[in-house]
Each structure stands twice: as C-alpha cells, then as structure tokens.
Amino acid sequence: MDRQLVPLKLDLSAHRFGRPQQAGPMTVLPLFGPEANGKFTPPLSGIKLAGVRGYGNVELHNPSRSGVAILPLHMGYIQDQAQNHALCGSAFLGAGQKRLFEDACCVQQAQGGYLESKEQWFFILPLHLREEALRLRGQKHYGKLWPEISKLNQRLGLEARGHLEQVICRQRPLLTQYQTRVELLNGQTGALFFVGDRLAGVEIAPSAAYFREVWTPLVCFCYGVAAMELEGKVKEQPVLPFAAGNLGELRQQLVASRQDRLQRIHDWLHRTPADKFDRKEEESYLGMRLYTATGNNFVGQFVEDEGRLVYASVAARAKYLEGISWEAIAN
C-alpha cells in the first residue's frame, strides 16, 4: 500500500512547526505534536543495554513497570574496551521485557570485547549509514556495515576502515556542539532536519520526554555528522548590511529578510520530491504497528498507534543526498 508520509506543504501556523533554527549547514524545523500521555517510555530510561551475547547479538531490557519503549531507529552503544554495536531497525520493548537482537552490527572492526550494561549512553547512526543499515536488517552478520563505515570515514578524510568511533568519538567535541547550536524547545516532539538545501530527515517522537532523550543522538551524531562534512566547505561571504536609514526601517528589513529565508525553507520542502512509500509491517504490540517505509528518496521506519502516527524516523537515501548545496543557504 502506498502512502505519502512527509507533508510537503510547510504549515507555519505554529501549531505544528516552530521557528526554523540554523547552525552552519544544518537547518532544523521544530515540530510540536500531541503527547502520548505516558503510554511510551523514553528511550534512555525505558531501554537498558543488558549486554552483548556474542558479536552481533545485542540484548536490551525495558525495566519500567509500565509503558512501551520504541527503540529509536539505528541506536548504538559505545564503550571502552568493547566492540561497539548498533541496531539495524526499530522494535517494541514492553514493560519488563528483555529481547535479544541477533541482527545488530558491529561498528568497530578491530576491537574485541563485549558491551556490558555499565554505560547506557547511546547514539544514532550517522545519516549516510542509515539506508544501508536498514537494508541489512534481519541479516545475521556482525561485520555487515564495515564497508559503509569505511566509505564514510573516507569521505570525511579519515582512515578508511570499519571504525565508527573515528567519527563519533574523535569528532565528538565538534559534533556535540550541534545540541547547543541548535536548541531543543520546550514541548518539542519532533523535527525536520535539513542539511544544506535538502530535507535530510523527519523525526517524530511519541512525547516531548521521548524526543528530549533522543535529541542529542540525532542532532549530534546522525545529522550532525552530515552537517560537519559540509562545515568550512563554503567560503564565508562578507556580511551584507541592510540598506536602512533608521531603526524602524532596519526592523522592517530584518522581518522581510526573515520572510525570505522562511520562504527558502518552504521552497526546499516544495522541491522535495513527493515520495511514494512502500510500507512493510515489521511487528506489532497491542494496537501499535511498526512499519518500514521505503521510497525513492527516503527510507525509515514509523509506528502507528490505532492508525495514528506516533513515531517516525525517516532519512534521505544516499543518492538523494548527493546533490546537496550549501551555497544556497550561506548568507
């Protein structure tokens, strides 16, 4: 069944979209949606890493007494002296449940040792790895993502090998600044992420508490890595003053300029091809259904609760990201 997931008309009525924020090549359009009223537990408190039971087998646990945890798509764990792992898909984890995911991928090729439950800090796979990781879900081969990680390292100017920590850990001081350069707003439940002039992803969470806990992994390590690649590639333009003769005119011109920039974001959305998604149900939990959505330009997963969209993590495919231009948004 085909379904158009991404709304292609920018609604600025403030009921769904917040004011856009820009940090270098990244632009974020905050989303505000209805709260799920405690039905879903946030990922940091609702999902605990129980450990790795052999390479590629990650065991997760939902210790809460109530509330379903939706695994954030492509979450991963990094620990010292252990082989870091990431998951290829989302899933439901009911209260008290413990599940072993046997299709996880190792993201640190030459490191031995198993992850333990001691550290629960998690990341989301960088944007450029998400399509491949989703395609490889269900395949039980822990080294399956190494070639893509190697390619990502190469395009970032790092040593070409299957070690994601070269990006996540060594670039961390720069990447973690994205969570302050772009600010999470009170009550925010999702966001549209643009890298350069392209829509790079749509992230929707069931609650503000959920989105707060998935915000740093998303903005820093998923979309932040893609933005970091473009940082410094565009020559800084000289500051262009407004042609205003007094403060009143200056204020008017600032407002007009902002309208232009909003229009620009509107245009980016308009230019986003109207994707048709093939959706495939992956699993269900009571009335909730987890689907994989595959389109020409975007792939991802989403959850519906009684037909209502409660979670979505849909990212641009690699070929769609190739035409990104940042010159268009640099002042």
Partner 1 sequence: MSNQSQNTVAFLRHLTTDRGPFLVRRTEVAPSCDDQPLHETHYQQAPDLYALCGIAEKALPEQQARILFQLLACSRVELSLEIRQMLDRVTTQLLTALDPQQVLTVFLASRRARANHKHTRRAILRYLLNHPRLEELANQRRPTLVDCLEHALGKNVARACARFIGEGNEQDNYVRRHLLRFAHDPERVRKVVAALYRRGELLVSNSTFVVAFPTKVANQEDDVPRTITATNRGEIAATLVHVYRGGSNAELNAAVQRFVQEEVTCLPRFDGTVALILDASASTQGYGEREFCCISQSQAFRLVLEQCCAKLHVVQVGGAGDLARPDGDTDLATAVLDALDTEPDVVAIVSDGYENHLQGDLARVVASLPDAGVQTPVVFCHSKFSGKDDLNLRRPAPGVPELEFWHQEDFAEVLWFLFAHARSPKGEAFLRQELGQRLVSLEREKQSWIAN
3-state secondary structure labels for all residues of 235-259: CCCCCCCCCCCCHHHHHHHHHHHHH
Residues of this chain, 27-46, that bind partner 1 according to CB under 8 A? none
For residue 186, how far is the Cα from the chain centroid?
A: 19
Contacting range for partner 1; rule: CB under 8 A; set: 12-20, 31-39, 104-112, 145-153: 12-20
Residue 5 falls in which region: left (phi positive, over 0), alpha (psi -120 to 50) or beta: alpha
Q: Does 120 bind partner 1 (CB under 8 A)?
A: no
Q: Which residue number, 88 or 329, has a Cβ lying nearer to partner 1? A: 329
Among 14, 15, 239, 322, contact with partner 1 (rule: CB under 8 A): 239
Site track for partner 1 across 147-176, x = CB under 8 A:
--------------------------x---
Q: Are 143 and 98 in contact (CB under 8 A)?
A: no
Which alpha helices (H) appear in 161-283, and where do they start and end? 165-168, 172-175, 178-181, 208-216, 223-230, 247-271
Element (H, E) at 28: strand 26-31
Number of H helices, E strands in the chain: 10, 19
> CB within 8 A of 307, min separation 6: which ones?
none
Q: Which residue number, 112 or 241, has a Cβ lying nearer to partner 1? A: 241
Q: Which residue number, 231 or 278, has a Cβ lying nearer to partner 1? A: 231
Q: Does 258 bind partner 1 (CB under 8 A)?
A: yes
Q: Does 331 bind partner 1 (CB under 8 A)?
A: yes
Residue reference for tokens 């720069």: 174
Q: Does 23 bind partner 1 (CB under 8 A)?
A: yes
Q: Does 180 bind partner 1 (CB under 8 A)?
A: yes
Question: Smallest distance from the beta carbon of 20 to partner 1, in angstroms?
Answer: 7
Contacting range for partner 1; rule: CB under 8 A; set: 19-27, 32-40, 59-67, 310-318: 19-27
Q: Does 245 bind partner 1 (CB under 8 A)?
A: yes
Q: Which residue number, 162 or 224, has a Cβ lying nearer to partner 1? A: 224
Q: Which residue number, 62 or 179, has a Cβ lying nearer to partner 1? A: 179
Q: In whole angstroms, what is the distance from residue 181 CA to residue 155 CA?
A: 24
Among 1, 240, 307, 322, contact with partner 1 (rule: CB under 8 A): 240
Residue burial 11-34, b: 16+ Cβ < 10 Å; e: rest: eeeeebbbebbebbbbbbbbbbbe
Among 65, 246, 306, 307, contact with partner 1 (rule: CB under 8 A): 246
Q: Residue numbers of the site for partner 1 (CB under 8 A)? A: 18-24, 173, 177, 179-186, 216, 239-247, 249-251, 253-254, 257-258, 261, 331
